[in-house]
Amino acid sequence: MIYLDYQATTPVAPEVAEAMQPWIADRFVNPHSPSRWGREAAAAIEVARKQVEQAIGLPGGGLAFTGSATEALNWALKGTLEKAPAGRNRIVTITTEHAAVLDSCEWLGSRGHDLTRLPVGPDGLLNLGDLEEALDERVAIVAVMLVNNEIGVIQPVGDIARLAHEAGALMLCDAVQGLGRVEIPEGPDLVAVSAHKVHGPKGIGALWMRKGAEPAPLVHGGGQELGLRSGTLSPALCVGFGAAARLASERREQDRGHVERLWDAALAQLGSTWTVNGNVEHRYPGNLNIHREGVDGARLISDLRDIAFSLGSACASGSGRPSHVLRALGLTDRQARSSIRLGFGRYTTEEELVGAVRRIDSAAGAQQGLAA
Ligand code: PLP
């Protein structure tokens, strides 16, 4: 298989699997128990916490592990609204957010909170003037992601946080696709991340919280994570996340250079019948979302079964509905259905990427009755 679905999940790094191994096998102890073994596991979790905090790279806050970034985003939004002062009842977000944000906002809307979903331009970027207009003393939180999971564009999160703060609101940044790949600008009060997007294990995420901006708890129980998030932590998952974060920090320049070369090679191979969806400058280059008029993206995926790529987010791919992100850019349903997302990174070779792109291009030509 040629794996080109790095936005859905990333291959587990060998160093991560190795770091996790002892904690899966004999060191199965509960990290919250007072025994020597429990304390050793707790210490390993604290090392991992520091490693993830360092990869996030923001000052003045702390991090709680969660079961996923989806949980972290739910917690950030619902817990912030619960603690918000009377009269600050509104959430501002954008139409191209991940379902974890949009559906949490919808749910809060159904519970009586107000919701503003701002549009993006044809390049996928938020217009800061639109945000300024939407902000006032009724806004509790602004939620905008750093790197879009479907089209890879990078929102101006530092400016968004500044405007949110000027209006007295908090800023939540979904940095799931940005961690270890692009710098997270200073400004956000809450940052959600996920291990499996940075070559770590699935089933663990985290919420970084600026001191003083901690949301009210969502998951109640033993209060293991700073008294704010309950549930026994898995030392194996935490250690795996820590190892993945450390590697991402250490290899940031190397990974970035590799991904830029892959992007150039893929574009050179594609030719002019394909159009890149979203801004080509403000983007993470390991996400190549493209469309070609008249092509059926789903058919391409089933025609090329040994290449793993997708139509957009894993969630959107299952539903059969055209992507809400591509629709938000102004693509027609037809153009959205003729779009595909190629995601590549640390372990993709140029040879396999260029070979896959060549085959995708000729399968698209074959669909249109063109000689391949
Ligand atoms: N936010 C973004 C931008 C994502 O790409 C994803 C994963 O698809 C999530 C949130 C959810 O992360 P998790 O799989 O850890 O719940």
**Does the structure show a pLDDT above 70 at 34?**
yes
**Does the structure show a pLDDT above 70 at 124?**
yes
Contact 244, 253 (CB under 8 A): no
pLDDT digits (tens, 9 = 90+) for 207-241: 999 999 999 999 999 999 999 999 999 999 999 99
CA distances for 241 relative to 45, 65, 205, 262, 361, angstroms:
10, 10, 8, 26, 36
Please give the distance, rounded to the nearest whole angstrom, from the Cα atom of residue 291 to the centre of ligand 1.
Answer: 23
Contact 285, 95 (CB under 8 A): no
**Does the structure show a pLDDT above 60 at 256?**
yes
Mapped onto helix, strand or coil, the DSSP state of residue 134 is helix
316 lines ligand 1 (CB under 6 A): no
State the greatest distance between any 2 C-alpha atoms of the chain, in Å, as a whole number.
Answer: 70
Please give the distance, rounded to the nearest whole angstrom, from the Cα atom of residue 194 to the centre of ligand 1.
Answer: 7
pLDDT at 314: 52
177 lines ligand 1 (CB under 6 A): yes
pLDDT at 201: 98
Percent of the chain with pLDDT over 90: 94
Contact 120, 94 (CB under 8 A): yes
What does the mean pLDDT of the chain come to? 95
Q: Which residues pair with 154 in a beta bridge?
A: 147
CA distances for 177 relative to 260, 296, 326, angstroms:
16, 26, 17
Please give the distance, rounded to the nearest whole angstrom, from the Cα atom of residue 121 to the centre of ligand 1.
Answer: 23
pLDDT digits (tens, 9 = 90+) for 173-216: 999 999 999 999 999 999 999 999 999 999 999 999 999 999 99
Question: Which of ligand 1's atoms lies nearest the C-alpha of 69?
Answer: 15
pLDDT at 317: 52
What is the residue type of 69?
A
Q: Is 22 exposed, middle or buried (0-12, 13-18, 19+ CB in 10 A)?
A: middle
